[in-house]
Amino acid sequence: MNFYPVPPIIQAELYVRVPDDIRCLGKDTEWRGGFARQFQHIFLEGPVVDYLGNLYIVDVPYGRILRIDPAKAITVVARWDGEPNGLAATHDGYLVIADYKQGILSFDPSNQKIKPLITRRHLERFKGPNDLIVDSQGSIYFTDQGQTGMTDPTGKVYRLLAGGKLETIVENGVSPNGLVLSPDEKFLFVAMTRSNQVWRLPLHSDGTTTKAGVFFQSFGNAGPDGLAIDEEGSLFICHPSLGSIFVVDSNGIPKARIVSGTSGINLTNCCFGGAENKTIFITDSLEGNVQKVDWHCRGARPQPRLRGMSSTPEYQPFLKYSDDPAAEETTPPQHPVKRRTTVLSHVLVFIATSLVWGFVVFLIVPSPIPTSSTQVSASTHPTILENHLAGIRHNVTSGRRLINCGNSTEEAKAQGCKYDILLNHWVPGPCFDKESVDEYRDDNSWGAFSDINMTHRLTIDEMSNRDFYWTSIRDHINHCAIMWRRQFYVLFDERRAMDTVVTSPGHTEHCSQYLMDVTEGMFKEPTKTMRGFAELSQTLHTFHVDEASTINTTDQPTAEAGPTVTSIENSTISHGEGLGLRFMASIFTDPDLRRNNIELLQLLARVPSAPEPAIQPCGLPTNEDGEFLFEKYLSWSHVQSPFLRRDEVKSLSGRVFLLVPADQPASNHDLFRAFMILAVGAVFPFKNGTHTQHPEGYYLAALQHMGSDFLTRGLASIQDLLLICRFGIYHRIGTSGSNAYFRLHPVLTSLFEGTSIWDVIRLCGRLCVEQGLHLNENPSSNFMQAQMERRVFWQFYMIDRYSSTLLGKPFSIDDRDIETSFPADANDEDIVTANQSSRDFVAFRLSHVTLVTTEMTVFFTSVRLRQISSRIHTEFSRLARNYFESSQSHFAPGYIYTTLSRLMQELQHWRDDSPVFQQPKCLYESQSWYDLLLAREQLYLVRRAIDLVPKRDRKTPRHICILCLRTALRTIWTYSTLCQQRPLITHTRSYFHMMFTAGLSVLFCVSTATKLEKEDISDASAGLFQCEETLRDMAEQLPSARQYAAVFEALRRDTTRKLNKILDTLQSDNASQNTGPDNVSPIFRPSSSDRPSNTLRAPDYLVLGSRGSSQSNILGANLDATLQEDNFRGSITNNVAFSFPVERVVPGDTAISLSSVRDNYAALEVSDDFSPRSDLFDWAFLNDETLWNMESVLGEYVYGDPDRHIGALDAFDFQ
């Protein structure tokens, strides 16, 4: 019963109709909507409008997401095997999907990938999710409708908290459908379709609900569907069977009825959007069109900013201020001419301020030393410098002592800091600019609100104690104006208090970009501002700026040159610069090394090069052994590198070992592949003693069957070369032209004499380009052919990126020249089955969604990591070239730290997204493997940053040095732990290079850091001992690596002596206990039983929480349980800001005595009659780049020409 007058009727108008070429005409679907009208091969629901005006909707029967841009162009952005009903945007720019068939999914608009978010509850699948929303805290509410109704009132409403906990709010729903929160988020409205009702549920602070009631009662064949709400609290109730949207106020009183503007009546869902968020977009599902209505006020929720669709970051570490929200509505729109004038004025202000501010930064920031590297012609908009990074940049480059306000309100108060409402930061007392704050407060234009609707205004005390608050656009503009004025005071009014927000060039850039975006209507309120804790530079002084070397910019590529040509022509192939190697020079040029380590350095000249074993080609093994090695290949190498078809490998095994008649021997190509698979498959069994034939015997036998048509077999030729590369990771692939069987094959001599993996992979790249595998051409109708082309290309990409990065050589193909997509995430048998009913591989790849791991899972994970390492190389090459000229050098530190932070976060996101295998069958499926890859890439990234970061007095800034130290230690401990998990892992030259580099990085950090805490020194010493131990073990399997292990031992001994001198000073009470030739403190001298050979012990900051922990940090995810140790406390917090550990118990090494040194001599095959003092060492080599380029020489040892490194250690010689 309703005694209120009939509300006004508003007729919607057609916005856009999905054209027939977008509809799935003639395609069958299992989904049935149960409607009486004619089905038109489309059914639209779930509208969401982003801040750019793009409208996203789902096509339920065909598992698609459509995007309608402001020009009404329609694009299919995702397709999968699902039945999506609802869409909602998350705060981090993803779209979450309520999929009736698959559960709750996540869609990334930046790469158009669909991933499962939550598909089961207590191992049971949901009934059929229908709709979902996201609240201001990031929690997801969704309805689980299924086929519930009046006779089966078991529909559910769930809440998925941001931390991952799933809560049940309603268990007796009568077909729960659409849902929406009140503007203050105190009430949840849920449409109960089969009971023709809308329920109203109060939400309590403890997450429960009571006194749920019927808010709206209707009638008709079907009840309410989608819901929406405006900023006034009016509820919009879509009712498909009545062809209406009923609008009622917050008390349920009718306000309006919106009716269809076309012949369709299935108005299922609606949402707010448009330029001012005052347009209601309505899906007419069955007709396949969208209608719209202009409304008098805005929607309760701002339009979301989606990933990949925004040029302006959503959240900034600088304050976004607000005044009375109602005042925004009274602001008339600007005339276009005035808007252009405003934009120009902002640009001029930005240019003027940047020039002035750049001048002062130029005075206080040292110019970095440029390095030559790959030029990237494409410019990108720099990421805005985050506040904590601004503080680090200020600290490490200015040479001034900073006062810190801690990381909490309590710490800030204890340090005497004051809360600055202008900055939304706690700032040190001397930095508090009372004049600016008073001016800001007296104007009474500032405002901060606790909720997204800006209904509750906060006091200053409340602001200071909250992690974030909401504010509007107008105050942000006021904030920028006062901040620029404060910068002027710092520069010209002798006000020398400089906080880290004021000193950040990124803030000026942020303000100017923000103002221009606001003027163009690209930024919507409210905005969210995070509280910070600033640092203060107490004094202001300048220091000398290192003179920057000029960069040769001549011989630029022509306009016609493609990205790959540009990259190659502008690459420097020297090993010393730009690759994270140059900083090692300081280790080897230390004159103290020559005084204190004569014995072992003299020893280096006496270490003989290990002779290579005389391996001859062998024949095929027995059928049993052959099948065993083939299966080993499939269960190990194929998991990470599936560039061969699994069924073809099995078929090859049958042809070679089982089905070959005596009078019909296998073909040369079959024998080549068989021997190569045997060679790769025999690597582990040979090293662990379960197979007697050396893998190189199989490899040499394979070369005898290459044939003259080796490079003319199309895709098969690339696959054969990739097999050689895979084997080359474990054994040398170069040949000697003096061997008779190579002289019989000129093609072998020309291809493989002195060949390296890098040479072979470049040949692969040429063949890939010739065959067009890098292009996004229409794939073959043969699904497996199209799949294999992609698998082969991305396998080439993966090896090319790793080998080229390691050697500092140009990539075979630039990322910008790559158009082809990833292979389908499906097993081979699924692809073959799908090919029987379809000929569209692209459609299959986009639509196939698997909720379990496939044989492509590890491969995708590895390729994505190589894409990040490619970006690391590209980004730092760009920084080295673009920002190290004298006119740009003052911007370099900010860009370096911003790039470092962003790429660290990308690596962490990669680790967070890595797959989990409940029962790992090989190394590539273990979580420790992903931890190791993360640590290795982070170490490479930090070393690239160290090469470029400005230094004072040749000292690396402490923050970046500590980051490098801990990343290197993490690499050492992670690999050392993996070595205990045999037969999962075996030593290779690549692993040796990684450990050698990590050890050198630790040596560098403790040798050049401006200041180290006692705990860091202890950790470094323990890590160096462990690294030496592991390198020594590796040298037993890799005889050619013994010289490198001996070099590291020399450097470690010298560094240990220095560390103990420092510790003697710090622990003078223990000085009398120091004994032995290395003068090692007893704190580092446990018994041999304490050596890290059984249970490894790592500092606690190297051991992170469980996977999925809410506390992410740049050093990655967890290590295995073997690294957990209660004796170590403390942790690294997020992103380059460290909390130093305390109370460390340091694992040590055996006592280093003269006898133990001589034992090491014996292990290194040094004769007993060697006298350490028999000769004098020529120390001139310490100034030679041969030694400090040791790591690059080792790079050639791993992926370069196997003969180039021979003689590289001859510099270690006596005169």
Under 8 Å CB-to-CB from 988, ≥6 apart: which residues?
Answer: 729, 730, 1038
Q: pLDDT tens digits, residue range 232-260?
A: 999 999 999 999 999 999 999 999 999 99
d(CA 1172, CA 596): 13
The more confidently predicted of residues 582 and 767 is 767
Q: pLDDT tens digits, residue range 825-841?
A: 999 988 998 888 887 88
Check whether 840 is labelled as a binding-site residue.
Answer: no
Closest residue by Cα to residue 406 from 282, 556, 531: 531
The more confidently predicted of residues 311 and 805 is 805
Domains (ranges, CATH) in the chain?
9-28+37-294 (2.120.10.30), 326-366+384-537 (no CATH), 567-612+856-1215 (no CATH), 617-731 (no CATH), 757-853 (no CATH)
d(CA 224, CA 238): 6
Closest residue by Cα to residue 241 from 257, 218, 261, 262: 218
Report residue 882 as tokens.
């673009």
* pLDDT value of residue 804: 84
Contact 1152, 595 (CB under 8 A): no
The more confidently predicted of residues 425 and 1105 is 425
Q: Is the pLDDT confidence value at 1215 over 70?
A: no
- Percentage of the chain surpassing pLDDT 70? 64
Under 8 Å CB-to-CB from 792, ≥6 apart: which residues?
Answer: 643, 715, 718, 719, 722, 768, 773
Q: Helix 783-807 to helix 757-770 angle, to the nearest 10 degrees?
A: 140
* pLDDT value of residue 1114: 33
Q: Helix 387-398 to helix 892-912 angle, to the nearest 10 degrees?
A: 130
Which of the residue ranges 330-344, 490-504, 965-979 would you say has the lowest mean pLDDT?
Answer: 330-344
d(CA 402, CA 405): 10
* pLDDT value of residue 1127: 32
Q: Is the pLDDT confidence value at 46 over 90?
A: yes
| Band (1160; pLDDT cuts 50, 70, 90) | very low
The more confidently predicted of residues 1051 and 507 is 1051
Q: Which amino acid is at 589?
A: T
Contact 677, 723 (CB under 8 A): yes
* pLDDT value of residue 427: 81
Report residue 313 as tokens.
């970051």
Contact 1130, 1171 (CB under 8 A): no
Contact 533, 405 (CB under 8 A): yes
Check whether 45 is labelled as a binding-site residue.
Answer: yes
* pLDDT value of residue 419: 84
Closest residue by Cα to residue 1101 from 1138, 1130, 1136: 1130
Q: pLDDT tens digits, residue range 795-828?
A: 999 999 988 887 778 888 998 899 999 999 999 9
The mean per-residue pLDDT over the stretch 615-642 comes to 92
The mean per-residue pLDDT over the stretch 678-683 comes to 94
- Percentage of the chain surpassing pLDDT 90? 34
* pLDDT value of residue 708: 77
| Band (908; pLDDT cuts 50, 70, 90) | very high
Cα–Cα–Cα angle for 417, 420, 422, nearest 5°?
160
Q: Which amino acid is at 382?
A: P
CB count within 10 Å of CB 731 equals: 18
* pLDDT value of residue 418: 85
Q: Tell me 772's DSSP state.
A: T
Check whether 177 is labelled as a binding-site residue.
Answer: yes
Catalytic (active site) residue 225: yes
User: What pTM did the predictor assign?
Assistant: 0.51
The more confidently predicted of residues 1122 and 271 is 271
99, 225, 475, 825: the active-site residue: 225
Q: Is the pLDDT confidence value at 937 over 60?
A: yes
Q: pLDDT tens digits, residue range 992-1023?
A: 889 988 998 888 888 776 677 778 888 888 99
Report residue 827 as tokens.
């097993």
d(CA 281, CA 288): 13
* pLDDT value of residue 402: 53
Q: Residue 46: in which H helix or E strand, if any?
A: strand 44-49
Which of the residue ranges 503-512, 970-979, 1202-1211 would you say has the lowest mean pLDDT?
Answer: 1202-1211
Q: pLDDT tens digits, residue range 528-544?
A: 777 777 665 444 333 33
Residue 423 φ then ψ, to 5°: -95, -15
Contact 898, 383 (CB under 8 A): yes
Report residue 316 as tokens.
């900034």
Check whether 420 is labelled as a binding-site residue.
Answer: no
* pLDDT value of residue 1045: 84
Contact 431, 415 (CB under 8 A): no
What would the 3-class secondary structure string for 1086-1129 be? Answer: CCHHHCCCCCCCCCHHHCCCCCCCCCCCCCCCCCCHHHCCCCCC
Q: Is the pLDDT confidence value at 590 over 80?
A: no
d(CA 127, CA 715): 46
The more confidently predicted of residues 636 and 310 is 636
The more confidently predicted of residues 282 and 780 is 282
Helical segments of 736-891, H only: 740-743, 746-752, 757-770, 783-807, 828-835, 841-847, 857-882
Closest residue by Cα to residue 642 from 924, 847, 927: 924
Q: Which of 652-666, 1066-1080, 1153-1167 has the highest mean pLDDT?
A: 652-666
* pLDDT value of residue 1010: 62
The more confidently predicted of residues 479 and 306 is 306
The mean per-residue pLDDT over the stretch 444-464 comes to 75
* pLDDT value of residue 1048: 84
d(CA 762, CA 721): 10
* pLDDT value of residue 791: 95
The mean per-residue pLDDT over the stretch 73-82 comes to 93
Which of the residue ranges 576-580, 611-615, 1005-1009 would you say has the lowest mean pLDDT?
Answer: 576-580
d(CA 63, CA 59): 6
Contact 647, 700 (CB under 8 A): no
> Taking all residues of the chain, what is their mean pLDDT, rounded to a whole number?
73
The more confidently predicted of residues 1139 and 54 is 54
Look at the alpha carbons of 577, 583, 584, 589 in this order and tell me if their dihedral is positive or negative: positive
* pLDDT value of residue 156: 96
Q: Is the pLDDT confidence value at 566 over 50?
A: yes
Q: Which of 40-54, 847-861, 911-925, 1127-1141 has the highest mean pLDDT?
A: 40-54
Q: Is the pLDDT confidence value at 306 over 50?
A: yes
| Band (398; pLDDT cuts 50, 70, 90) | very low
The more confidently predicted of residues 648 and 744 is 648
Under 8 Å CB-to-CB from 575, ≥6 apart: which residues?
Answer: 581, 807, 808, 1189, 1192, 1193, 1195
Exposed e or buried b per residue across 287-323, where buried means at least 16 C-beta atoms within 10 angstroms of its C-beta: bbbbbbbebeebbbbbbbbbbeebebeeebbbbbbbb
Q: pLDDT tens digits, residue range 849-894?
A: 777 789 999 999 999 999 999 999 888 888 877 765 555 667 778 8
Which of the residue ranges 338-347, 900-909, 935-944, 1093-1102 would you say has the lowest mean pLDDT?
Answer: 338-347
| Band (776; pLDDT cuts 50, 70, 90) | confident
SS3 content of the chain, % helix, strand, coil (to 5): 40, 15, 45
Q: Tell me 658's DSSP state.
A: I
Contact 240, 196 (CB under 8 A): no
Residue 1010 φ then ψ, to 5°: -70, -30
Which of the residue ranges 380-384, 672-676, 947-951, 974-978 would you say has the lowest mean pLDDT?
Answer: 380-384
Neighbour order of strands in the sheet with 402-404:
402-404, 535-537, 498-499
* pLDDT value of residue 390: 38
3-state secondary structure of 391: helix
Q: Which amino acid is at 1186?
A: T
